[in-house]
């Protein structure tokens, strides 16, 4: 299934990639992987005709390495190996690799064409779709970056067999978000899906549905000036949770932080937009059952509020939220008072305790 001309959901990855490679000179093919995707995912591409032509760089794995210094490693590798504007860069890995590799490609010699092959569920339904690139800076997620579309995103669910449960459900959180902001049918199929014994044929169809939803918002608003902000649901508070956790001993995976952010923002949706009380409680308890507990205390509220103030979608000193009137009915640019945000954090804290 091809949700649009750029995104291809396929079980014929080798032939799709080989066809794309054929449009570029053999000595201008470059591959960016991290330590994990090099070990677990690259072997799945061994039957791709011409795969040996790629010049490969292996970058350090982990969100803590999504930095300017790692981007510099990629730029140096490209420069030393003769990359130019006729080159192709293929980013094979999770969201860290696709975000950082895409940024390096977008800025090297003012732009080199690139393909993303996302290998985690999070990257397949979110990070590699929509053209966002960048890296973390000054303790803040994705603070530096540009929006630039890959020439292709190739999604193959075979890679998901390499994931542990925590990373699998991390990506699932973004799918839940897509259901909440656009499609009650998608949300219903996600709630029925067995996360303990995933059926990958069913999952492939659900990924296609989820990618279609993200593309719907991206195509309507490529530069994120308006309705694409719907995709930020759960992220204003979720990113704050994620940033806080990076200062603690156990960093949250991105999707877990977003799931927790959705709980708090469902409460804001109830207060500000009239999201039904019963639905809010049922969804919040379901999210806790999937993602477990994240315990916070009131003494971190000010820190969380400060992190929210750095969200890229804010305007001046206003903290803007994407909120829901109901599943599938979105309100963007909703400003909330500090007291309301703290009340939402109280709801989240009490639910977790």
Catalytic residue IDs: 110, 132, 174, 214, 224, 228, 232, 235, 239, 254
Helix axes 235-246, 254-273, angle to 10 degrees: 140
């Amino acid at each position: 299934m091809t949700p649009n001309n750029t995104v291809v959901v396929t079980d014929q990855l080798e032939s799709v990639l080989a066809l794309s490679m054929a449009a570029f000179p053999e000595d201008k093919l470059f591959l960016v992987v991290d330590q994990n995707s090099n070990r677990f995912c690259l072997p799945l591409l061994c039957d791709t005709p011409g795969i040996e032509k790629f010049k490969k760089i292996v970058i350090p794995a982990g969100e803590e390495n999504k930095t300017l210094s790692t981007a510099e490693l990629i730029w140096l590798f490209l420069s030393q190996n003769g990359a130019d504007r006729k080159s192709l860069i293929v980013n094979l890995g999770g969201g860290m690799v696709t975000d950082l590799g895409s940024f390096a490609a977008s800025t090297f010699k003012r732009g080199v064409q690139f393909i993303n092959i996302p290998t985690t569920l999070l990257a397949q339904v979110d990070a590699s779709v929509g053209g966002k690139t960048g890296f973390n800076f000054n303790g803040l997620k994705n603070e530096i970056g540009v929006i630039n579309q890959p020439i292709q995103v190739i999604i193959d669910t075979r890679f998901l067999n390499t994931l542990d449960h925590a990373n699998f459900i991390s990506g699932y959180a973004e799918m839940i978000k897509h259901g909440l902001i656009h499609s009650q049918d998608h949300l219903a199929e996600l709630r029925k899906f067995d996360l303990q014994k995933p059926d990958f044929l069913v999952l492939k169809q659900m990924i296609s549905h989820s990618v279609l939803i993200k593309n719907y918002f991206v195509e309507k608003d490529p530069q994120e000036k308006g309705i694409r902000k719907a995709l930020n649901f759960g992220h204003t508070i979720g990113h704050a949770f994620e940033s806080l956790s990076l200062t603690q001993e156990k960093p949250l995976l991105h999707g877990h932080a977003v799931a927790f952010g959705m709980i708090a923002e469902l409460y804001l949706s109830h207060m500000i937009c009239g999201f039904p009380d019963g639905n809010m409680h049922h969804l919040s308890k379901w999210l806790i059952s999937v993602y477990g507990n994240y315990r916070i205390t009131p003494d971190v509220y000010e820190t969380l509020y400060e992190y929210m103030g750095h969200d890229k979608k804010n305007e001046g000193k206003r903290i803007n939220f994407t909120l829901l009137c109901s599943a599938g009915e979105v309100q963007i640019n909703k400003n909330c008072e500090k007291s309301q945000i703290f009340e939402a954090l109280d709801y989240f804290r009490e639910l977790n305790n």
